[in-house]
Structures are given as structure tokens and as C-alpha cells.
């Protein structure tokens, strides 16, 4: 055992350091089932221990990788046998809920679902929601600036954090946990750590901004004939919703047909097929009023030729069945030999042309490849799945085609999943050289020995 590990074990105790099989028994990442590689998993029990860990690692020049629930999708926790993982799994406390100020103070290892449930017990809502809610942590969500389903109404993690405590590479604790909505006392340092993917500091605690818990919701699946009809429908439903529009999830027909077809256990609520589908949800506090206004808005949309057909969920089960169509991933796994997923941003007005060009560029590469498109239209965020059968083109060839199109439309190679290792080579498409230089300057300033998640986002 190295001197550093002996010192860490003395400081953190038996429970605080895992080695050998206890490391290898974990999966390396969400996508890869290989055993986790690392000298050890360090598990501090509080901010003081976390700070002491980093101080020791910094002195020894030891590379560490901050670890939350390991549900990130951009290979940002990828490690080698030389690294040490720094897990926040023993720092899950919900420290306080302020019902008047509508805030919650948590340790960064707190699981999203626990935070949501604790907020709901107080009649409040933590509104960032995503499929990994049972495992992902507040620290990991902040470090990736996670988004999810209701960004158009509530924003991403960046908008949901009022206070933050982070520990720098050398163990210095930067604590700003006052949690005011308005706080223009100099630079907003907490935002430096949001979206930094564990490369600038380890987030140890946070003050989260909560909202009043909506007690009513109404959901519909809407079929539309054209992309222009879909964007006009978005404006109409936002205008008429009076702040209640929480989700506007779009699906191109190939995605919808696969998720409601022979390879799926979900079925379409429509008798015919349409070019586009939208899952719309309004949330509020008065069930009858919300429902009436929603039906009126849909009726007006129908009269103004903004939709072709619509089905409103009549029960919780029906609501869940509509959402299941949007969230299902098994049909693509069953149908295709291989899939490659992308998460990109671009101007809403360019999306139709972007998808058209991407379809034709992909067809040139592989005539049998299929493009499935869905996403959060109002956020300018599309998720793309390229589905292939053997013989398929290489991973890099498909990336080349997709990111070539993203570049042609001045889009972003990552909308909400981050860069990690997965998109590092493509980052210059979406960022100017001067921006990348400033990012490197910040990294060198905050982490001069380069021990925090080295090699992620960009190389120094």
C-alpha cells in the first residue's frame, strides 16, 4: 500500500477507503459493464474529510475523479488503475428545508429522488427531473448542469442552485451557502463549478431552489402535420397556458412508430400515422380549471389548424402510458444491431432543415441506417439515435456525419449531457479558440497540479 493510501486510510477510517474487489465489483460507467478501474474509492463522510482527502492527494500529485451516481452519459467518470475515485456516497444528508424561503440545503451525494420526495413532503417541488432520478446525485447533476423534462419552465441545474460549497483541488473550501435569489456581491463563483464536470472543484453541499408543488396536471399526445405547425403550436400553447406549460416533448415519426410498433409494448393512441407527435403537459393547482383551459387551448389550436389530432389522458395510468412512449428505449435496443446516441442543441428554426440534411448525409454513409429524432423542442435540444444493422460504419464515421451537420448549423455538440471524454474531440466545433483558452486558464488557476478529473472536457 502506498504512503498516500496509508495516510488516507488513517484519516478516513475503514469505511472511508475501498480497494480491490470492492472497486472492481462496480460498473465502470452507465454504458460500459467492465469493472471499475482505480487504486481506491475514497468515501469521505463530510466536507471536512473531503477537504482533508484533497489536501493529501494534492500534496502527492494524485489524480482523483469525483463520483456521484455514475449515471452520466459522456464518459466523464472514466478512470484507469492509477486514479482514485472520490465518491460522495456517504454525504447524502438533507440538512434543512426552508418552507418559507422555498430552499433545501443538501450534501452533494443526496439522490435526486430523495430530494424530490423530501420537497413533496413539505408541499414543495424540486423541478429538475430525469430518468436516472433513483441513482443520480445533486453533485453530479450540478457538475453536468443536468436539464431534463421541464427546463422550459424551471430551467436547468444552473437555475436551481442558490448556494454552493465546493472544495478546490488543494483542499480549500469555498462556501457560499446563504441561498438568496438575489446576491450581486461580486462574481457568482458557484456558477464556475456548475457544468465543470468535476474538473474545477468537488461540490460538497448545495442550497437548492424549490417551487410550490403543482397539485394538478393535464397531459396530451398531439399529432401534427409539419414542423412549422409544431412550432406554431408551441407558441400557441405557451401563450394560452399562463405559465402552466411544463413539457413540450417532440417526436419525429420514425421514433414514434418504433416506440409504438411491433418491437414495443406501448401502442399509439392514434388510428393513423402522422409526421410529428408532441407530448404536452400543463401543471397547476386547480384540476378542473386547468383541464378546462387546456381543452379550450387545444380546441382553438384545432380551429387554427395547428394540430391534426390529439388525445388527452383521462387518468394517471393513461398519462403514464403516454409518457412511456416518449421514454421507452427498449424498442430500439430490440430492433437495431447497434445504436449510437447524440444530444445536440441548435436554433429551433433550423431543426427541420438539420434533420433533413442529417438523414441524407447518413444515407450516403449507410443506406440502411435509420435516424430517430426526439427531444425538448422549446429548449432547442434534440436527442438523436442512429440505428444500424450489420455491417455498420465505424463509431467515428457516424460522429463525423452527425457533428459535421451540427457544425453546419452552428449547433452545440452537447445540450445537457456534458463533454467528458465522449465529446472532447468535438468541443472545438461549438467553442471559439479564445473561449477554450479561457477555460484552460481557469483550470490551471484552480487546479494547478491538474489532479481533478484530468483529461476530461479538454486537454491542457
Ligand X SMILES: Cc1cc2nc3c(=O)[nH]c(=O)nc-3n(C[C@H](O)[C@H](O)[C@H](O)COP(=O)(O)OP(=O)(O)OC[C@H]3O[C@@H](n4cnc5c(N)ncnc54)[C@H](O)[C@@H]3O)c2cc1C
Identify the sign of the CA torsion 262, 264, 270, 272. negative
Q: Is 284 in the site for ligand X (CB under 6 A)?
A: no
Distance CA 400, CA 358 (A): 11
Binding region for ligand X (CB under 6 A) out of 10-18, 59-67, 92-100, 168-176: 59-67
End-to-end Cα distance, the chain? 30
CB of 131 to ligand X, least distance (A): 3
Binding region for ligand X (CB under 6 A) out of 5-13, 63-71, 242-250, 395-403: 63-71
174 φ, ψ to 5°? -105, 110
Binding region for ligand X (CB under 6 A) out of 38-46, 60-68, 293-301, 314-322: 60-68
Q: Is 85 helix (H, G, I), strand (E, B) or coil?
A: strand
Strands 17-18 vs 338-345: parallel, antiparallel or unpaired? unpaired
**Of 44, 66, 195, 331, which lies in the binding site for ligand X, with binding defined by CB under 6 A?**
66
Q: Is 88 in the site for ligand X (CB under 6 A)?
A: yes
Binding region for ligand X (CB under 6 A) out of 114-122, 125-133, 401-409, 424-432: 125-133
Distance CA 396, CA 425 (A): 11
**Of 5, 136, 257, 401, which lies in the binding site for ligand X, with binding defined by CB under 6 A?**
136
**Of 40, 53, 56, 67, which lies in the binding site for ligand X, with binding defined by CB under 6 A?**
67
The owner of cell 451537420 is 405
Question: Mask 414-453, x = binds ligand X (CB under 6 A)?
Answer: --xx-----------------------------------x
Q: Is 76 in the site for ligand X (CB under 6 A)?
A: yes
**DSSP, residue by residue, 212-243:** EPP-EEEEEEEEESSHHHHHHHHHHHHHHHTT
Beta bridge partners of 173: 167
Q: Is 70 in the site for ligand X (CB under 6 A)?
A: yes
Nearest residue (CB) to ligand X, 53 versus 290: 53
**Of 16, 44, 127, 140, which lies in the binding site for ligand X, with binding defined by CB under 6 A?**
140
Q: Contact 106/194 with Cβ under 8 angstroms?
A: no
**390-428: string of b/e by CB count within 10 Å (b at 16+)?**
eebbeeeebbebbbebbebbebbbbbbbbbbebbbebbe
Identify which of 346, 355, 343 has the alpha carbon closest to the alpha carbon of residue 276: 355
CB of 184 to ligand X, least distance (A): 25
The owner of cell 420526495 is 117
Identify which of 79, 80, 208, 78 has the alpha carbon closest to the alpha carbon of residue 141: 208
Nearest residue (CB) to ligand X, 49 versus 416: 416
Q: Is 105 in the site for ligand X (CB under 6 A)?
A: no
CB of 85 to ligand X, least distance (A): 9
Q: Is 5 in the site for ligand X (CB under 6 A)?
A: no
Q: Is 197 in the site for ligand X (CB under 6 A)?
A: yes
Binding region for ligand X (CB under 6 A) out of 170-178, 197-205, 285-293, 300-308: 197-205
- Interface of this chain with ligand X, residues 141 to 170, rule: CB under 6 A: 141, 143-144, 146-148
Nearest residue (CB) to ligand X, 28 versus 268: 28
How many residues make contact with ligand X (CB under 6 A)?
34
Q: Is 123 helix (H, G, I), strand (E, B) or coil?
A: coil
Q: Which three cell numbers stand for residue 8?
A: 488516507
Residues found near ligand X in the complex (CB under 6 A):
30, 65-73, 76-77, 88, 108, 130-132, 136-137, 139-141, 143-144, 146-148, 197-198, 202-203, 416-417, 453
Amino acid at each position: 500500500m502506498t504512503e498516500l493510501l496509508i495516510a488516507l486510510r488513517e484519516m478516513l477510517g475503514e469505511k472511508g477507503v475501498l480497494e480491490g474487489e470492492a472497486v472492481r465489483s462496480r460498473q465502470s460507467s452507465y454504458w460500459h459493464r467492465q469493472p471499475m478501474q482505480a487504486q481506491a474509492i475514497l468515501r469521505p463522510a463530510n466536507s471536512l474529510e473531503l477537504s482533508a482527502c484533497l489536501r493529501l492527494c494534492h500534496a502527492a500529485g494524485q489524480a482523483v475523479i469525483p463520483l456521484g451516481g455514475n449515471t452520466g452519459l459522456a464518459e466523464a467518470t472514466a478512470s484507469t488503475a492509477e486514479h482514485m475515485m472520490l465518491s460522495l456516497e456517504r454525504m447524502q444528508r438533507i440538512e434543512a428545508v426552508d418552507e418559507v424561503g422555498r430552499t433545501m440545503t443538501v450534501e452533494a451525494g443526496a439522490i435526486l429522488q430523495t430530494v424530490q420526495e423530501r420537497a413533496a413532503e413539505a408541499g414543495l417541488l424540486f423541478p429538475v427531473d430525469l430518468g436516472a432520478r433513483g441513482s443520480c446525485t445533486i453533485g453530479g447533476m450540478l457538475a453536468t448542469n443536468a436539464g431534463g423534462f421541464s427546463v422550459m419552465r424551471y430551467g436547468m441545474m444552473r437555475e436551481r442552485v442558490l448556494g454552493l460549497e465546493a472544495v478546490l483541488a488543494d483542499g480549500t473550501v469555498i462556501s457560499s451557502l446563504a441561498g438568496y435569489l438575489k446576491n450581486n456581491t461580486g462574481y457568482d463563483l458557484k456558477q464556475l463549478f456548475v457544468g465543470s464536470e468535476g474538473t474545477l472543484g468537488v461540490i460538497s453541499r448545495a442550497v437548492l431552489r424549490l417551487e410550490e408543488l403543482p397539485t394538478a396536471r393535464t397531459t396530451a399526445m398531439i399529432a401534427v402535420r409539419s414542423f412549422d405547425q409544431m412550432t406554431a403550436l408551441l407558441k400557441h400553447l405557451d401563450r394560452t397556458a399562463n405559465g402552466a406549460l411544463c413539457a413540450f416533448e417532440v417526436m419525429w415519426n420514425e421514433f414514434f412508430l418504433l416506440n409504438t410498433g411491433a418491437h414495443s409494448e406501448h401502442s399509439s393512441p392514434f388510428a393513423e400515422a402522422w409526421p410529428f407527435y408532441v407530448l404536452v403537459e400543463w401543471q397547476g393547482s386547480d384540476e378542473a380549471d386547468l383541464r378546462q383551459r387546456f381543452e379550450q387551448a387545444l380546441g382553438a389550436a384545432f380551429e387554427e389548424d395547428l394540430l391534426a389530432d390529439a388525445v388527452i389522458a383521462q387518468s394517471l395510468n393513461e398519462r403514464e402510458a403516454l409518457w412511456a412512449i416518449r421514454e421507452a428505449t427498449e424498442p430500439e435496443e430490440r430492433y437495431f444491431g447497434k445504436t449510437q446516441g447524440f444530444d445536440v442543441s441548435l436554433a429551433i428554426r433550423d431543426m427541420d432543415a438539420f434533420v433533413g440534411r442529417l438523414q441524407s448525409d447518413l444515407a450516403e454513409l449507410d443506406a440502411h441506417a435509420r435516424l430517430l429524432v426526439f427531444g425538448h423542442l422549446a429548449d432547442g435540444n434534440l436527442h438523436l439515435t442512429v440505428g444500424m444493422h450489420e455491417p455498420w460504419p465505424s463509431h467515428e464515421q457516424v460522429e463525423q456525419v452527425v457533428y459535421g451537420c451540427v457544425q453546419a448549423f452552428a449547433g452545440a455538440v452537447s445540450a445537457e449531457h456534458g463533454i467528458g471524454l465522449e465529446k472532447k474531440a468535438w468541443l472545438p466545433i461549438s467553442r471559439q479558440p479564445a473561449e477554450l483558452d479561457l477555460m484552460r486558464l481557469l483550470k490551471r488557476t484552480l487546479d494547478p497540479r491538474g489532479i481533478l478529473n484530468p483529461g476530461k472536457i479538454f486537454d491542457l
